[in-house]
Amino acid sequence: MTLEARAVHHGYENESVFEGVSLSVPPGEVVAIIGPSGVGKSTLLRLLALFDAPDRGSIEYDGSDVWRLSEQSRLEFRRRIGMVFQDASLFDASVRRNAEYGLRVRQSWTDRLRRELSSIVGRTNGTGDAIDALDTVGLRERADQDASSLSGGEAQRVAFARALAYEPDYLLLDEPTSDLDPRNTAVIEDAVREARDRGIGVVIATHDMHQAERIADRTAVLLGNEILEVGATETVFEDPADERTRKFIDGELIY
């Protein structure tokens, strides 16, 4: 069930963002996308999340070119992808209700029936996944608290739990810790590792190269209109194949 961008070209108003970008993300792996602000990291995540269609090339899921499928089939693939943005954007409701939101709006009828049957044989109100997700980010005990009372870091942890609760195949994270203190950052990074260990593929766009070194199995370097290289994170940072990668990491190359 590999998620892949293949030879993607994309732009806005006659301005090219990507020219032939390719990136493959297998399940159970964390891939970091690094690059300067404005280079298109968020745009690439939106393409992988099926929010936007590429101008050319393909976004493939399990070998299928998703944008060549019917809208209903594409929706089924979209349900298998969770995304966390830089801004948590929680609802005026309890922490639990926020964590359950993805379950309510993204389930197919089959999923809903399965969860109802699960609740009959022992799961409380079919919300076990949401509570488990809150536990992953250390907020189980605050499930019934109003989300408006949370700090910014705690709110972002709820947003992560909301995306995780549905048990997606992939999690796409857009600068999820850019405004967080070290404690909340560490909690989310631990949650990323746990998601990976559960077989979920994770793509994280980050300007924090130390974060990429800490949690990513592989790192993709996005500069200009292209991905310069993708490789094992340690190799990319210690022995990059492209000299431009080395200069960017060392702060010598500014875009």
Q: Examine the domain organization and report whether 162 and 52 are in the same domain.
A: no
Pick the last residue of a domain from 167, 196, 219.
Answer: 167
Q: Examine the domain organization and report whether 107 and 124 are in the same domain.
A: yes
Give residue 220's Cα distance to chain centre: 14
Residue 68, amino acid: R
Domain ranges, residue 228: 1-80+169-179+187-255
Average pLDDT over residues 197-206: 96
> How many other CB atoms are there within 10 angstroms of residue 28's CB atom?
14
pTM: 0.88
Q: What percent of the chain has pLDDT over 90?
A: 75
Whole-number Å distance between alpha carbons of 82 and 32:
16
Q: What percent of the chain has pLDDT over 70?
A: 89
Q: The CATH number of the domain where 251 resides is what?
A: 3.40.50.300
Q: Is the dihedral of CA 26, 32, 37, 39 positive or negative?
A: negative
Question: Cβ(203)–Cβ(37) under 8 Å?
Answer: no
Asked if the model's pLDDT at residue 122 lies above 80, the reply is no
The domain total for the chain is 2
Calculate helix-pair angle for 152-165, 182-197, nearest 10 degrees.
10
Q: Examine the domain organization and report whether 115 and 155 are in the same domain.
A: yes
Pick the last residue of a domain from 136, 167, 198.
Answer: 167
Asked if the model's pLDDT at residue 121 lies above 80, the reply is no
| Each residue's pLDDT tens digit, 73-102 | 998 899 899 999 998 889 989 999 999 987
Average pLDDT, the chain: 89
Q: Examine the domain organization and report whether 32 and 135 are in the same domain.
A: no
Q: Is the dihedral of CA 122, 126, 127, 128 positive or negative?
A: positive
